[in-house]
Structure 1
Amino acid sequence: MTGPDALVRAVSPPAGPVDARGDWAEAEARLGVRLPGDYKQLVETYGWGEFCDYLYLRTPFGTSPYNRLERHDGLLVWGATTDGDRLCWRTEGDPEEWPVVVRGRSIGQEEFAPGAAGFVEGWVTGRVSSAVLADMEPGLAPWFNAFRPRLHRCLRLSEGPRPYAERLRILRDVLTPTTDRGSWQSDDGTHGQDHFATADTDWLLTYDRSRPHQIRISFPPADRVAARDRLFAAVRLMSCTVLEITTADGLPLPDWSADDA
C-alpha cells in the first residue's frame, strides 16, 4: 500500500492538527512497543480527528479519554469508525510489518497489508474494499475534520436575485482556499446541500438551498471575529441579507458574539 504522502494528495490535512505532537519515546514506553513510522507521520500530519465523518484516527497524545491507543483482545487499536468498528494492528514482529486488522463490532474481522496510512488512503479513494467497513460514497471528494472545540452558527438568508450556483461560487471565492466535503441535490433541484471546509482555517460549512436558504458554519472560538467578518462579506456579495442567526439547534442568538455549544 501507499503511505502518508499519497494520503495527503487525496485528503487535505487540517491547518492546525489536534493532539499531533508529543514525546513519542514516552508514548512507546507506556504502550510497551515501538510504533510504526508511517503511523507517526500520519499523526503528525492529521492529528486527532475523522476522515469523511466516518473513520476516526487516534493519537497517543492529549488528555481526552476518547483519544488513546489501547489494547483489545491482543490487538493494538489506533482508530475506529462511527459504527463502532476498531482499526488495529496485530503487534507481532517488526512494527513496520504489522498487519492492519479491522475488527467489526458485530460481523467479525479481516486483515490487510501493513501500513495504517496506506489503509486509510485506500479506503478514502476506494482502492481498498472491506467487508466490515462501509464504503466511501462514490463521487465525493474525501475530507478530514480535526476534533477541536468549535462554535456553531446558522445564518438564515433572504433569497436575493442571484441563482444558487452563483451564490455558492461567491461564498467559496470569499473563503478560498476551500476543500469539498460532499454534496447532494434532490431530483427536481429544489433542495440540496453543499459541504466544504476552509483549508487554511479549518472552518466547516454547509450551504443549504432550502427556502429560505441558510449557511451553517463551525469554527474554533479564537476565529469568532474573522469568521463573522468573512462570512458577512460573502453574504453582501451574494446580494443577500441575514434574516436570523441561530445556534446549531435552531435557538436564536442575539448577535454573533454570543456563546453557544
Structure 2
Amino acid sequence: MTSLEDLTRLVPPPASPPPTDWNAIETLLGTPLPGDYKQLADTYGPGAFCNFIHLYHPHGPTEWVDLTGPMPARLRRQLVTDRNNDTYPMPHNPEDLFAIGVTDNGNHLFWITTPREEPDAWRITVNQADGHAWYTYDGNLASFLTSLLSGHTHAPVFPDDLLGNGPFFTPSPPTDNAPRPEPSPAGSTTSREAIRQWARSQGYDVPDRGRIPGHVIQAWEQAH
C-alpha cells in the first residue's frame, strides 16, 4: 500500500477535484515534479489539511497557494538574502529549496530538490515562521502528511493542537474570494510575536500561543 493510499484512508478526499495538465505545469516550471505530489494534487485538489496546512496547487485560488505563482521564487530569494546576511541558521542550501505549502502560522513547507534529476527522491523540510528553526522529514510529501496526520510524526515547528479536531481536508472554494492562508508577508520572516503585538494595539483579541486567526493576518498584511 502506498503512502497516498494510507493518506486517503486516513483523510477522505473530495469527490471531484479539478484535473491538471501536468506536462504543461512541468514545462512552465522548468522541472519535473514528484509523482506522489501529482497524485496527491489530483486526488485532493486545492485546499487545506486540518484547516492549517495549505499545499500549493496549480489550481490554487490565490497567488499565496498557487504552485505556478510568485511565492516559490519569492521565498527562495528571501532565504538567499537571509543566508547571505547570516540572519538565521539554515540547514539547507536555499537554491535547493522549492516551496510547496504554507500554514496558518506562517510556516513554509519545501521540497529539498536533490538530486535535481530525481524528484521522487526529494525530501520535505519545514521552517518555523520566524526562521529560527527547521524540521526535516526523510521522505516524500505524501508520506510526511500521512505520518503527521496519523500522529506518528511530530514536527516541533507545528502547534501541539494540530490534530485537536482529528485529521480532515477542506477543499478551497472555487472562487477568487477564498480565504488566504498565512504566508510570511512578501516572503519575509516577520515574527509572529510582532503581528500579535500589532493586533493587540489595534484591538484584536489574539492568543499568546498557537494559531493567529486568519482575519488578523489579513488585516496585518493590508496595513503593511
After TM superposition, the score normalised by the length of structure 1 is 0.52
Contact 2:61 / 2:174 at 8 angstroms: preserved in 1? no
Which of 104, 110, 133 aligns to 1:88? It is 110
How much does 1:139 deviate? 6.2
In the TM superposition, what are the counterparts of 1:79-228 in structure 2 within 5 Å? 79-93=101-115, 94-106=118-130, 107-137=132-162, 140-149=165-174
Unaligned runs of 5+ in 2: 77-93, 176-224
Contact 2:45 / 2:59 at 8 angstroms: preserved in 1? no
The answer to which structure has the higher strand fraction is 1
After TM superposition, the score normalised by the length of structure 2 is 0.60
How much does 1:128 deviate? 1.0
How much does 1:126 deviate? 0.8
Partner of 1:30: 28
How much does 1:50 deviate? 0.5
Q: Is residue 77 of structure 1 aligned with residue 102 of structure 2?
A: no
Matches of 2:163 and 2:27, distance apart in 1: 41
Partner of 1:57: 55
Matches of 1:2 and 1:24, distance apart in 2: 21
How much does 1:68 deviate? 1.8
Give the counterpart letter for 2:39 in structure 1: Q
Partner of 2:64: 66
The answer to which structure has the higher helix fraction is 2
C-alpha spacing 1:41/1:134, structure 2 compared with 1 (3 Å): same
Matches of 1:92 and 1:103, distance apart in 2: 18
The DSSP-based 3-state class of the residue aligned with 2:65 is coil
How much does 1:64 deviate? 2.9
Matches of 1:117 and 1:45, distance apart in 2: 11
Structure scoring higher RCO (CA < 8 A, sep ≥ 6) equals 2
Give the counterpart letter for 1:58 in structure 2: Y
Contact 1:123 / 1:136 at 8 angstroms: preserved in 2? no
Q: State the percentage of identical aligned residues.
A: 34
Q: Deviations over 1:3-23 (max 9, x none)?
A: 110000100111232xx4221
Matches of 2:14 and 2:49, distance apart in 1: 11
Q: Deviations over 1:69-117 (max 9, x none)?
A: 2232421111111001011101111111111011221132121112111
The DSSP-based 3-state class of the residue aligned with 1:114 is coil
- Aligned-residue RMSD, C-alpha: 2.2
Give the counterpart letter for 2:119 in structure 1: P
